[in-house]
Amino acid sequence: MQLLAARTAVLDGRLVTPGWVLFDNVVQETGEGIPPARVLNAATAHSTLVDGVLCPGLVDIQLNGAFGIDFAEATDDEWVAVAQQLTSTGVTAFVPTLITAPVAELARRLGEYGAHAARMTRAPAAARPLGMHIEGPFLAERRRGAHRADLLCDPTPELVDSLVDASAGNLSYLTLAPERTGAIEAIRRLISNGVRVALGHTDADAATVRAAADAGATLVTHLYNAQRPMRHRDPGTVGAALTDPRLTCGLIVDLHHVVPIAVEVAFRAALGRIALVTDAVAAMGMPAGRYELGGDRVDVAPGLPPRRADGAIAGSALRMDEAVANSVQHCGVDVETAINAATRVAAHAVGRGDLGTLAPQAAADLTWLGDDLLARRTWVGGELAWSRDREPSASVGAAP
């Protein structure tokens, strides 16, 4: 078994100084303070991290692609390549996203996903796939963002069933606009088939959002963006999302999609219900240039988010560890809250209580973030998956 001791750690959602984790493929034991002799004796390897933060592996529940690869067009090998490279960003589990396309095409991709997931799961040093997210095509035209207007449609029982059937249980959640004709019934239909529902790209008023939550919706896709804003006489989607305890809200903290004060407002209003997401496209981890999102061209200028030819923001180039760092360094969010938003809150939102936490019997997925809150090392299932420096550094010393 391995032992990691750290001057600062997030254990079972709580920041401790110092703390330690004893693990093999799962977490065996954690503790605050200096590891006791019995724990030191049980460990076959022991390292002490003297800077940064030891925390659960980061969980990204909205990812369209990365490292030059768009999931809508990815080959089997490319799916594996993304999963393996994600660990360099501190991510140990993720939900790949497909945006609006013809329903038949989405169904085909869902049908293929099982084989991709099996390969990613077997691949060494790869982040865990957690089922798919379909964002569209049941969205509001007025709030469509980068989604194609000609492909938007109502969620009829036949279309919903075609996606559920094709997924063979691999559809984690689906984003829809609850004001579309048939949407409330579609939410019930999806929930009854084990598929979570997120509200997004919507012009719904607060009453409609509450009705959707009554029907079983539990998530909100990229809070603030492409949804009816909050006004003092019309609380809209945003107001309902921030005040309804049943809804977990995804939030893109790249400092472009949402300005810092709005990020701070979200965390203060919905503490414990904000899940950091990247909504990253193929441009993540790549230089500025031209990429694809759902088969459409997006352009990325240095330091700016991806945009379609019509100027609409189209996802992000954000890394998950950067989302944590931005939240703390620019938005007034404390380290514990930011890390929980990128780990346990996100994992629980997609039904994975065994991930996103360092607690006994949880998966041994760990990330060591440096003082800059960017990934230094990442472990998946107890195995070192990535290290900024494969050689031992002054920050890590083996126990005598």
- How high is the pLDDT of residue 398? 29
- Closest by CA to 51, choosing from 397, 399, 395, is 395
- Between β-strands 19-23 and 2-6, what pairing exists: parallel, antiparallel or unpaired? antiparallel
Residue 146, token pair as written in the block: 């980068």
The pTM (predicted TM-score) of the whole model is: 0.95
Mean pLDDT to the nearest integer, 93-109: 98
Task: Indicate if the pLDDT at residue 395 is higher than 60.
Answer: no
Confidence of residue 397 (pLDDT cuts 50, 70, 90): very low
* 165 catalytic per annotation: no
pLDDT value for 400: 23
Active-site residue (options: 203, 279, 321, 365)? 279
CA–CA dist 199, 51 (Å, integer):
39
CATH number for 58-349 (one of 3.20.20.80, 1.10.1740.10, 3.90.1170.50, 3.20.20.140): it is: 3.20.20.140
Q: How confident is the model at residue 296 (pLDDT cuts 50, 70, 90)?
A: confident
Predicted confidence band of residue 180 (pLDDT cuts 50, 70, 90):
very high
Spell out the domain ranges in the chain.
2-55+359-398, 58-349
What is the CATH number assigned to the segment(s) 2-55+359-398? 2.30.40.10
Measured between alpha carbons, how far is 194 from 339 in angstroms, rounded to an integer? 28
Non-local CB neighbours of 242 within 8 Å, separated by 6+ positions: 223, 230, 249, 265, 266, 269, 270
Is pLDDT above 60 for 366?
A: yes
Mean pLDDT of the chain: 95
